[in-house]
Amino acid sequence: MQTPVGIECPHFYSDYHRGRDREECRLLEAAEPPQVWVAELCETCPVPGILRANSCENMQLNAQVTRSIFDAFQRRVKISAFCIKTQGNVAKPEIGCGECHPLPPIFEVKE
Ligand code: SF4
């Protein structure tokens, strides 16, 4: 479904049927503890980009609303990711943990 800023996000839900005006982010709603969603959060939210880059079904996203260190009034969605297959945190959700979809050797960084 399209967010108020026009980006496709599977976690956004809206219902405008018969005069209803209901909008919610089900990812923030399911967070522990549940987070309050406002439409501005979708403007800078990394989730749609992460899901476009990596659609691994074993990766679970957890969202928290944080404040910017530069502007205390600006709130942002911060994402952490967990792989239910390896039972580990995923450092770069856009790339994934590499278990199901290993990168070809050409992309490995030599140290
Ligand atoms: S805040 Fe992020 S995850 Fe929630 S609906 Fe908006 S874009 Fe999707």
- How confident is the model over 54-75, as pLDDT tens digits? 999 999 999 999 987 777 788 9
pLDDT at 29 > cutoff 90: yes
% of residues, the chain, pLDDT over 70: 96
pLDDT tens-digit series, residues 75-88: 999 999 999 999 99
Angle (nearest 5°) at CA 46 between 3 and 15: 20
Tell me the CA–centroid distance for residue 6 and ligand 1, in Å: 11
Tell me the CA–centroid distance for residue 87 and ligand 1, in Å: 25
Q: Which one of 1, 2, 22, 27 would you pick to mutate in the ligand 1 pocket, going by the greatest count of ligand atoms within 8 A of its CB?
A: 27
pLDDT at 104 > cutoff 80: no
- At 109 the pLDDT is 67
CA distances from 107 to 23, 78, 95 (A): 40, 27, 11
pLDDT at 9 > cutoff 80: yes
